[in-house]
Amino acid sequence: MKRLQQPLYLLAGLAFVAIGIIGVFLPLLPSTGFFILAAFFFARSSPRLERWLLNHRVFGPPVVAWRDHGAIPRKAKYLAFGGMALGFAMFVTAVRPGVWLLVLVVLFFAASALYVGTRPDGPDE
């Protein structure tokens, strides 16, 4: 079973890196979360790729902050809040939801914002 897991973990890690890179260019796709997942899978399949990701000049610091401290840097929080607001505005404009769907989506975004907002900013906090 272990022989099958390692290639699957490697493929998952590579897929999450690809999605994360796409997320860098699409404002509604949170790239950091995908890089965190990629690091998780690389840790179980490829120490070399895990090291590359953790030491990457751009992608590495937020992954390390999350892994070591459960932290989301303040700038990333602001970007997340902005992305949530933009996503909510696009949802309301495009879907024109009924009251119950709107309430569910508001609760989802509020819970997401609360979670992000309550994470520490970094190791000093």
**What's residue 106's pLDDT?**
95
In a domain, 125, yes or no: no
| Domain tally, the chain | 2
As a whole number of angstroms, the distance between CA 118 and CA 7 comes to 36
CB hemisphere CA count around 110 (13 angstroms): 6
Q: pLDDT of 37-68, one tens digit each?
A: 999 999 999 999 999 999 999 999 999 999 99
Q: pLDDT of 71-121, one tens digit each?
A: 998 888 898 898 889 889 999 999 999 999 999 999 999 999 999 999 998
Is residue 53 domain-shared with residue 36, that is, in the same domain? Answer: yes
Is residue 13 domain-shared with residue 59, that is, in the same domain? Answer: yes
pTM of the entire predicted model: 0.78
Is residue 64 domain-shared with residue 12, that is, in the same domain? Answer: yes
Nearest to 79 by CA among 124, 123, 113: 113
Q: Quote the domain boundaries for residue 30.
A: 2-69
- Buried/exposed 23-40: b ≥16 CB within 10 Å, e otherwise: beeeeeebbbbbbbbbbb
In a domain, 34, yes or no: yes
- Cβ-in-10-Å burial (0-12, 13-18, 19+) of 45 comes to buried
Is residue 15 domain-shared with residue 51, that is, in the same domain? Answer: yes
**What's residue 125's pLDDT?**
53
Q: pLDDT of 5-18, one tens digit each?
A: 999 999 999 999 99
In a domain, 92, yes or no: yes
